[in-house]
Structure 1
Amino acid sequence: MERQVALVTGASSGIGEQTALELLRRGFTVYGAARRADRMTPLVDAGGHAIAMDVTDDASVRAAVDRITAEQGRIDVLVNNAGYGSYGALEDVPIDEARRQFEVNVFGLARITQLVLPGMRARRSGTIVNISSIGGRIYEPLGAWYHSTKFAVEGLSDSLRVELEPHGIRVVVIQPGAIRTEWNGISRRSAVERSGATAYAAQARALVRALEAADRSSAATEPHVVAATIAKAATARRPRTRYATPFSAKFIVGLRRMLPDRVFDLVIHRVFAPTKADLAAGEAHSAEGRSSDGERVAA
């Protein structure tokens, strides 16, 4: 039996790396793509292929798809994993950074999907696995831009699923919850960089503390758990439309489905509530800001 060919984006670390390795173990020919191909040594050592690719660079994406098609003749499974989380109050985040999040998390995903689809349609088979997040179903303070991208991925995937079903192509959404990867640290740092010294400083400190607690909690899990779910979806004869993983993610998504907006707001307020120390620090930053404004006016 001919080996299926999989392309996994964002394969240099975390969920993407573990997914590429898991698909290799399951007999796939695997191409991992990331901006830094040198970080995919474990994949190459295991028998996979590494491709340098930036999902926001059209020439780079085209070259990657063309190479795989030339070498293997097809792509059977596309795992759209590349993405990142950038936090900060909407008022504080520059529009250029907001655009970049959409370029990576949404438009990059859509572009590589566009390039893979003609081959899948011609064979009337293929699976597209889009890595969303429980953040595509819930929301957090200071996460407006990140959650917007994941809500967009959810809507894009739903439309794409019914659009491609007549052509024999399956579309699956994966919704990871708290996973111990680089994502959490990057998100925390961005919240502090963008809003740690603004009127939203107290909320930024509370967010960082909540994300740190999530990373340490027993509800958090390792990337290989998500990778196993992705591989299950990629190999199922009739995969579900969505997989929330791990169990804590299923619980949170289920809770959001059941609770009215205002009630869920109360849950979010409780989880991300600033402490007295956070509020005091926030007041100090506001006072410094007012003082600086006064000095500038006086000058």
Structure 2
Amino acid sequence: MSNKKVILITGASSGMGKISAQDLIKAGHIVYCVARSVDKMQDLAQLGGHVMKMDVTNEADIESVVAKVMAEQGRIDVLWNNAGYGLYGPVEELSMEQVQAQFEVNVYGVARLTKAVLPHMRAKKAGLIINTTSMGGKIYTPLGAWYHASKHAMEGYSDCLRLEVAEFGIKVVVLEPGMIATGFNQGVNDNFSHASKNGPYKRLVNAYLRAMEKGMDGGSNPSVISNTILKIIDAKNPKTRYLVGQNGKLLVYMRRILGDKAFDRILMSQFK
């Protein structure tokens, strides 16, 4: 293909990262797929993807991956910062080690990799950086303080970065998924400790878990993310934000027009 791009994707071992990587490879792009578990990406390698181990909290991993892409391709056209996870639980009960780990992956990991890639994009005077935040970067839910804080942080980070790098021909886009059927809910469910389910916040914790279990298989098909990523990459002048997936636009709109207390009441009515 004449418009073949060199794309680096984090969090490519599962969920929307893996599915999007598959579709980008099939579309003819040169795709570097990175995650902590190489074994889970062998199907991407068989499709023609370049699979490498990378932990976004590890500086040596990041330097090695970026150096390899540059040595083999001479450029990185698109960086999609997609790796992340959701830490949920009562603020009082989560340890600061857990909180720090959440930010190490969801915020500082993005910053580390972006800093490593930017000099190469500046040299080419071109590039596209896509940061996955969430509708959770615009709204909030009980028990998700640190996950939402990390995604709100990425919203602000991305806006500032967009202004700073524009003069170098680099674009920054925020991808804000709503509910996507990727197993995220199961991951959140697994975060809750036995102590939380039986501690001072047990009423809210167990009501939340019941609500999560009802929606465990819910959400939009991950193809909505893949289609959006393809659209962003192909666009000459992409939008600054793409809010896609089940309930995303609805909840963000409600948050904006209702105000805090009304939105609080609607949220908490789901966790009785």
**What is the TM-score when the length of structure 1 is the normalising length?**
0.87
Q: How does 1:237-252 map to 2 (within 5 A)?
A: 237-246=236-245, 248-252=247-251
Structure 2 SS opposite 1:148: helix
Whole-angstrom CA distance in 2 between matches of 1:194 and 1:232: 44
Structure 2 SS opposite 1:19: helix
Whole-angstrom CA distance in 2 between matches of 1:240 and 1:209: 37
Judged with a 3 Å threshold, the aligned counterparts in structure 2 of structure 1 residues 74 and 85 are, in CA distance, closer, same or farther, namely same
**Residue 201 of structure 1: CA displacement?**
1.1
RMSD: 1.3
Whole-angstrom CA distance in 2 between matches of 1:248 and 1:135: 11
Question: Which residue of structure 1 lines up, in the alignment, with residue 252 of structure 2?
Answer: 253
Whole-angstrom CA distance in 1 between matches of 2:126 and 2:141: 38
**Residue 84 of structure 1: CA displacement?**
0.5
Question: Which residue of structure 1 lines up, in the alignment, with residue 265 of structure 2?
Answer: 266
| Equivalent residues, number | 271
The code of the aligned residue for 2:43 comes to: P
Task: Tell me, yes or no, if the aligned pair for 1:179 and 1:215 is still in contact at 8 Å.
Answer: no
Question: Which residue of structure 2 lines up, in the alignment, with residue 16 of structure 1?
Answer: 17
Structure 2 SS opposite 1:196: helix
Task: Tell me, yes or no, if the aligned pair for 1:87 and 1:194 is still in contact at 8 Å.
Answer: no
Higher relative helix content: 1
Moved over 6 A (4+): none
Task: Tell me, yes or no, if the aligned pair for 2:75 and 2:120 is still in contact at 8 Å.
Answer: yes
Question: Which residue of structure 2 lines up, in the alignment, with residue 155 of structure 1?
Answer: 156
Q: How does 1:153-232 map to 2 (within 5 A)?
A: 153-193=154-194, 195-217=196-218, 220-232=219-231
**Residue 52 of structure 1: CA displacement?**
0.3
Whole-angstrom CA distance in 1 between matches of 2:271 and 2:242: 26
Identity %: 45
Gaps of 5+ in 2: none
Whole-angstrom CA distance in 2 between matches of 1:192 and 1:254: 33
Whole-angstrom CA distance in 2 between matches of 1:84 and 1:194: 21
**Residue 192 of structure 1: CA displacement?**
4.1
Whole-angstrom CA distance in 1 between matches of 2:22 and 2:82: 14
Gaps of 5+ in 1: 274-299
Whole-angstrom CA distance in 2 between matches of 1:168 and 1:213: 45
Structure 1 SS opposite 2:226: helix
Question: Which residue of structure 1 lines up, in the alignment, with residue 34 of structure 2?
Answer: 33
Question: Which residue of structure 2 lines up, in the alignment, with residue 290 of structure 1?
Answer: none
The code of the aligned residue for 1:261 comes to: D
Structure 2 SS opposite 1:91: coil
Judged with a 3 Å threshold, the aligned counterparts in structure 2 of structure 1 residues 243 and 108 are, in CA distance, closer, same or farther, namely same
**Residue 194 of structure 1: CA displacement?**
5.8
Question: Which residue of structure 2 lines up, in the alignment, with residue 90 of structure 1?
Answer: 91
Judged with a 3 Å threshold, the aligned counterparts in structure 2 of structure 1 residues 115 and 29 are, in CA distance, closer, same or farther, namely same
**Residue 24 of structure 1: CA displacement?**
1.3
Judged with a 3 Å threshold, the aligned counterparts in structure 2 of structure 1 residues 202 and 32 are, in CA distance, closer, same or farther, namely same
- Cα deviation 1:32-79 (Å, max 9, x = unaligned): 000011110111111111000000000011101111010110100011
Larger Rg: 1
Task: Tell me, yes or no, if the aligned pair for 1:133 and 1:174 is still in contact at 8 Å.
Answer: yes
The code of the aligned residue for 1:109 comes to: V
**What is the TM-score when the length of structure 2 is the normalising length?**
0.96
Question: Which residue of structure 2 lines up, in the alignment, with residue 75 of structure 1?
Answer: 76
Task: Tell me, yes or no, if the aligned pair for 2:135 and 2:248 is still in contact at 8 Å.
Answer: yes
